[in-house]
Chain A
């Protein structure tokens, strides 16, 4: 069979050239069969020799974005590959060895979970009493690094108190479940790094086991992925060992953090998608459906842990486009079959992830029925769905003389508020601020405008129930201090730009005030038929004398204003920031027949959308400075680790640090891949198709992985938020696999397909990797080590753990 195709290898490019020029209207079926073994009919399947099947899987998994120009040489090269490379060896290697799989898993269990129940981790919060208590030789257990957050969220799930976080809920739900399963009662609050786990009997070990076990499973997953990509057993094992003995992946798996969960789901998706690629010429079989559906589940789960999971969705998405494009070029695929393919892909790769993602939020909302630390981020509508909220129904009609509370729309600043403190600048009058909680200082008494008789102000008496309507001019009196909300020709205290006037509390006993206390009510989208102001209706307050609008924005007053939100009167401020609503309204004159209104309960979808807006806002707002933050450029070269903690006495410390050998190999593979691709592109452009084919064959399968690396890495350059080394871990996984694929291709070529020599090369690589892992392992596990050893590990001067 193979020899029969040898001449075909030479002729094929011509055929292809012709195809490109669209010469033959009716494609020659034999060519089509060779080119497009993806065939819905099982009869076609049986006619295609198995070698060609293999050939095709190589080609199609090769480059994700393949343009027409490259098409011909690539085809040729795969034919060449089949003809020249040692096919028999490769065939033997396609068998997945269950023994190898089990061995790898057991090995990974040892590496990832070593001493996880009792690590000698001595916290760096040295002043805590716990440290003193345990420093006498025992090895205490503490809250470490971001466990503050993710452990804390777990206890909030268990308590059911609402919180807000930048990540989607799945990973945190899983951690909470693992805690709950181990009997965690949610009392412990993970409030600060170094807080003791032992005394409150926190089942931290089982909580840490969840990321740990998922970290273990990444190892067999990488082996399977390599097999899907057609690697020899030797390489697949070596690559899996590279993943297993990677210090950063190990370190990150041993704590209550999300990254290990994310990496696992990413690895699952990669495994399933590569598996799908390897069975794609048997469409609609059980295997085909399974791998497709599980891939959809994998990407859905990844995205439900962290938004970084969207990158793996993008990866699968681009690859799917390529798949559909290839299918389109197959003349044997009828329109109906094509549509069937399309629907299947859409259902599995769009439908399933969306359902999983939405479901994770549904469970999230169900788990958190009570008010909690996150309540303040949400709109009052959202808050009204939480148990224990203070938003009660209130009278709808608003009339003069009412006591009201006025809430700012579109920020979470809260209610108009005042207190017996004064501005240190400007008019030095009483402060008007926004305060998130409903207390007595937020009560505003709404009064009609002053009347002027002979230029003397007269207080109009409120004797009857008179509703306020659009265009009415009112005064707002602060309940406790009787000061009027006032604006005048002083610049606002913090945002003192042109057109921003100060808003103050003004007045004195026996002094009625002046026309600068007058505000005009403008109801948004008011109905001329029924121009009255009702509770929960949006309105603006326009200062009668200057035309500016009562305004607030997410700017905090300095200490003198207790960090409350600034209120000012703005002439051209954003409309949505000068919009207000009344949600508390009491009036002695209120007729008993008055209707009451409350915030409408939002649907799941609007809660879902609002949560995302808030997550996005918090995420963009993460612009603080952390001593161990880093920029993406420094990640692939492993410039610097992250100190998780270190002991005061001794050298024991836990430091997120990669295995330098693995990172170097992965980095070299990235460079080499680009180089080989470039050379292959130039060679095929020069129509040296045979040599180009050899190059391209060496890198088969690498394109998909390289694209995965790019998609998981490049977007970070656009993010201005705080970033850390562990954001690189999904990318790292792709680049380790890339290294495996290139290692496979190159050794296969250099060693002439000798399986024994390949095993030797792979063993040497793995041994070196394990050796480096072992010497860096004290940093990973938090073990004590000698000062010399510690110093000796500082291969680069930027590596800055302390070796005292």
Chain B
């Protein structure tokens, strides 16, 4: 916002102010931008020399390096940084037990140190940073991070927490620099940073081993880089700085999306801005087509290719580090698992033959292994249950056996490979029963046929026969034989033509919550739920395939893992019949700060942390969003009625840019949570909060700029004082307290807050 030009519409306003400034040199009023800006006088000249000159004025404004000049600037930044370090680090090691989601993210860090493969819904970058911090802190990966457990002495958990806290502290100076790049006045930029500094929730969330401080930090860097880039776009396109900052934006966007998928909203924000920019450039008739094309190419390279590359790179490192078999194996394809140390898939013979003892993996998302156990169905045929199950045990083993009446038809060399189209039996190794299906309703999905285990080596019927239909093979497109791990095939019930299927439907308690297996009538042959592959394969005669035979492709693993993350993420849905528990909250509660979150046990002498915002920051920022809309509406109506409000070229564009950045950024980071089916938590609002804070500072500055200078400064300082005072009043919730919560009853400002019952 070009502050001093704003008032120039008023008769003589600018000139009067100039005189004032002259008198007040050295006073606090210097901090208002008109005085800070060394271009002020030249602007004044431009005014006199007419339109042409004026248009170069703002261009100059966009050219002011990272910071406007002045020692005061450095003073402000250093002060803010020290204050941020203090609030983020003070008493950080006090709680010597696992707090809240440290239980997850600490454990994941451990997996990187043990190099065991695990599965989680978030991309890996943030967790790898935590792993690195753990490595520095001497963590060997053995501690299991169970919620509430005390840290062992050899684990320097403060190091891991400090790593997170540094990201959190980094946000504060970044917020200030962003304010400067947005052409806020110096006091307003300071207010912006102070609100980030003094938000109790942002402080609190930065002090533990989580992902949020990194997410917020990279969101802040993305915003900062974007603003810096935009200024350079106006003043010096294709300059060296311009290239640096456009790529910095891309890398930052890649990083934020690699920490949590919420980062995709930041990408959307930059994307929208870029589209608008390119559209506006299209209207610039003076720009040669080649230059326009260069603008396109630069943005594709920096803002599309670079973030994708960063994201993929984070997964590449993830896979490279996690090279041992671990708890996440089952989420991945059998072939991927073969590449992990600690399993024996490379001992698998290459091709399936009769007499092979195998486990069969379903190819549906998160599909398990075909399983049976001695327990019977309580309904339907009441025969032995067949389920799908992730856990690896001998109940997953099936013996490939010839169809009834063909038992002795062996080939001369003694090994008979299974061919595409073969009809065979699958005998459950530990109970000796045959995989069987019949026209009996499946237990849950009653429209389909039940699959059970029935009979033995001598008792059986045609319902035990299954036809093998090869779908494809990863390496050998034309294979007629079933290969371990790489061949996908369907099992079609020979008599009724239905397809063996497993899906994400759990059996009740009697089936131990394992996945239901049915025989799908008129099954869609292209559905992955109908496809199976051989995972483990044992055969008496055939030689092992060897490590080289089973190599998965990175691209496939990358996609598999992302699909699994997406599926699991969507599966995190609340039960519509249950009262939501105390930890979750609904999006409508966030902007008004109607909920707080207890991050640990609430015993009277326990060290307690309560996730709650700074009321001034949260309520004020929410209000500012509404005020911003009102201002925009007022300007729109006024311009429609032909009032002149924006005389200075570029000032309206600046207003629109900051407004869009704050408001659209907030909306993009907030509204999608309304349509997400998954459970939502208070901290999901924090990235949106950052944008709301930007809007708050901007709106305050804009309104202030319409007031006399002293009032402008006074308004901003008053807000700053309120923010700081509230932080001091609420600080214990972020820094921890071990006195009874009852003592803080006065701070329960909202009926719903669960600070005290």
Show the binding face of A for B, using Cβ within 8 Å. 19, 22-25, 27, 68, 325, 328-329, 331, 424-425, 491, 494-497, 551, 553, 558, 570, 572-575, 577, 682, 685-687
Q: Can you list 6 A-B contacts (CB < 8 A)?
A: A328-B641, A491-B509, A497-B575, A572-B579, A574-B578, A577-B577
Distance of A711 Cα from B637 Cα, bound (Å): 27
Known: A496-B508, A686-B283, A687-B283. A575 touches B640 (CB 8 A): no
Type the 1/0 row for B572-615, where 1 means its CB is closer than 8 Å to any CB of A: 00011111010000000000000000000000000000000000
B639: chain A residues within 8 A (beta carbon): 22, 68
Distance of A413 Cα from B643 Cα, bound (Å): 63
Contact with B641, one of A24, A331, A424, A494 (Cβ below 8 angstroms): A331
Question: Cβ of B643 and Cβ of A22 under 8 Å apart?
Answer: yes
B579: chain A residues within 8 A (beta carbon): 572-575
B279 at the interface (CB under 8 A from A): yes
Question: Cβ of A496 and Cβ of B640 under 8 Å apart?
Answer: no
B509: chain A residues within 8 A (beta carbon): 491, 496
A686: chain B residues within 8 A (beta carbon): 282-283, 285
B645: chain A residues within 8 A (beta carbon): 22
B510 at the interface (CB under 8 A from A): yes
Distance of A363 Cα from B379 Cα, bound (Å): 50
Tell me the minimal C-beta distance from B695 to chain A in angstroms: 22
B642: chain A residues within 8 A (beta carbon): 19, 22, 24-25, 27, 331
A494: chain B residues within 8 A (beta carbon): 508
Tell me the minimal C-beta distance from A327 to chain B in angstroms: 9
Contact with B577, one of A325, A570, A685 (Cβ below 8 angstroms): A570
Q: A22-B647, A687-B283 are in contact. List 16 more A-B contacts (CB 8 A).
A: A19-B642, A22-B645, A23-B644, A27-B642, A328-B641, A329-B640, A425-B510, A494-B508, A496-B509, A570-B577, A570-B578, A573-B577, A574-B576, A574-B579, A577-B577, A687-B285
Distance of A687 Cα from B637 Cα, bound (Å): 26
B285: chain A residues within 8 A (beta carbon): 686-687
B417 at the interface (CB under 8 A from A): no
B279: chain A residues within 8 A (beta carbon): 685
Question: Cβ of A682 and Cβ of B282 under 8 Å apart?
Answer: yes
Distance of A553 Cα from B577 Cα, bound (Å): 7
Q: Which of B559-577 contact A (CB under 8 A)?
A: 575-577
Tell me the minimal C-beta distance from A73 to chain B in angstroms: 11
Question: Cβ of B643 and Cβ of A685 under 8 Å apart?
Answer: no
Q: Which of B613-657 contact A (CB under 8 A)?
A: 637, 639-647
A-B contact count (CB 8 A): 60
Tell me the minimal C-beta distance from B184 to chain A in angstroms: 25
Question: Cβ of B283 and Cβ of A685 under 8 Å apart?
Answer: yes
B378 at the interface (CB under 8 A from A): yes
Distance of A117 Cα from B643 Cα, bound (Å): 66
Show the binding face of B for A, using Cβ within 8 Å. 279, 282-283, 285, 378-379, 508-510, 575-579, 581, 637, 639-647
A574: chain B residues within 8 A (beta carbon): 576-579
Closest B residue to A495 using CB positions: B577
A27: chain B residues within 8 A (beta carbon): 642
Question: Cβ of A685 and Cβ of B644 under 8 Å apart?
Answer: no
Distance of A682 Cα from B279 Cα, bound (Å): 9
B577: chain A residues within 8 A (beta carbon): 495, 551, 553, 570, 573-574, 577
Main secondary structure of the interface of B (DSSP, over half): loop
Of B576, B640, B645, B647, the most chain A CB neighbours within 10 A belong to B640
Closest A residue to B581 using CB positions: A572
B282: chain A residues within 8 A (beta carbon): 682, 685-686
Tell me the minimal C-beta distance from B137 to chain A in angstroms: 36
Distance of A328 Cα from B635 Cα, bound (Å): 13
Known: A22-B646, A424-B378, A687-B285. A573 touches B578 (CB 8 A): yes
Contact with B578, one of A22, A329, A572, A687 (Cβ below 8 angstroms): A572
Tell me the minimal C-beta distance from B295 to chain A in angstroms: 15
Closest 5 CB pairs of A and B: A22-B644, A685-B283, A328-B640, A329-B640, A496-B508
Distance of A496 Cα from B279 Cα, bound (Å): 57
Tell me the minimal C-beta distance from B534 to chain A in angstroms: 34
Distance of A494 Cα from B510 Cα, bound (Å): 11
Question: Cβ of B378 and Cβ of A425 under 8 Å apart?
Answer: yes
Closest B residue to A555 using CB positions: B577
Tell me the minimal C-beta distance from A68 to chain B in angstroms: 8
Distance of A239 Cα from B645 Cα, bound (Å): 48
Tell me the minimal C-beta distance from A15 to chain B in angstroms: 13
Tell me the minimal C-beta distance from A573 to chain B in angstroms: 6
Tell me the minimal C-beta distance from A267 to chain B in angstroms: 33
Distance of A574 Cα from B574 Cα, bound (Å): 12
Distance of A686 Cα from B285 Cα, bound (Å): 6
A68: chain B residues within 8 A (beta carbon): 639
Distance of A686 Cα from B292 Cα, bound (Å): 13
Closest B residue to A494 using CB positions: B508
Closest B residue to A424 using CB positions: B378
A570: chain B residues within 8 A (beta carbon): 577-578
Closest A residue to B575 using CB positions: A497
Tell me the minimal C-beta distance from A6 to chain B in angstroms: 24
B578: chain A residues within 8 A (beta carbon): 570, 572-574
B646: chain A residues within 8 A (beta carbon): 22
A424: chain B residues within 8 A (beta carbon): 378-379
Closest B residue to A571 using CB positions: B578
A682: chain B residues within 8 A (beta carbon): 282
Distance of A68 Cα from B510 Cα, bound (Å): 66
Distance of A328 Cα from B637 Cα, bound (Å): 7
Tell me the minimal C-beta distance from A651 to chain B in angstroms: 27
Closest A residue to B639 using CB positions: A22
Tell me the minimal C-beta distance from A295 to chain B in angstroms: 25
Of A19, A68, A494, A497, the most chain B CB neighbours within 10 A belong to A497
A19: chain B residues within 8 A (beta carbon): 642
Of B578, B643, B645, B647, the most chain A CB neighbours within 10 A belong to B578
Distance of A25 Cα from B9 Cα, bound (Å): 13
Tell me the minimal C-beta distance from B739 to chain A in angstroms: 30
Distance of A337 Cα from B279 Cα, bound (Å): 38
Distance of A558 Cα from B508 Cα, bound (Å): 13
Distance of A68 Cα from B378 Cα, bound (Å): 70
Tell me the minimal C-beta distance from A497 to chain B in angstroms: 7
Distance of A686 Cα from B640 Cα, bound (Å): 24
Distance of A68 Cα from B581 Cα, bound (Å): 49
Distance of A279 Cα from B639 Cα, bound (Å): 27
Tell me the minimal C-beta distance from B450 to chain A in angstroms: 14
Distance of A687 Cα from B378 Cα, bound (Å): 76
Closest B residue to A331 using CB positions: B642
Tell me the minimal C-beta distance from B259 to chain A in angstroms: 30
Tell me the minimal C-beta distance from B634 to chain A in angstroms: 12
Distance of A682 Cα from B278 Cα, bound (Å): 12
Closest A residue to B280 using CB positions: A685
B379: chain A residues within 8 A (beta carbon): 424, 558
Tell me the minimal C-beta distance from B580 to chain A in angstroms: 9
Distance of A687 Cα from B286 Cα, bound (Å): 11
Distance of A27 Cα from B643 Cα, bound (Å): 11
Distance of A25 Cα from B641 Cα, bound (Å): 10
Closest B residue to A551 using CB positions: B577
Question: Cβ of B510 and Cβ of A325 under 8 Å apart?
Answer: no
Distance of A68 Cα from B577 Cα, bound (Å): 50
Distance of A570 Cα from B577 Cα, bound (Å): 9
Distance of A575 Cα from B642 Cα, bound (Å): 56
Question: Cβ of A25 and Cβ of B510 under 8 Å apart?
Answer: no
Distance of A703 Cα from B508 Cα, bound (Å): 55
Closest B residue to A577 using CB positions: B577
Tell me the minimal C-beta distance from B388 to chain A in angstroms: 19
Closest A residue to B283 using CB positions: A685
Closest A residue to B282 using CB positions: A685
Distance of A328 Cα from B645 Cα, bound (Å): 17
Of B279, B285, B579, the most chain A CB neighbours within 10 A belong to B579
Distance of A491 Cα from B285 Cα, bound (Å): 74
Distance of A575 Cα from B283 Cα, bound (Å): 59
Tell me the minimal C-beta distance from A58 to chain B in angstroms: 22
B581: chain A residues within 8 A (beta carbon): 572
Contact with B644, one of A25, A491, A553, A577 (Cβ below 8 angstroms): A25
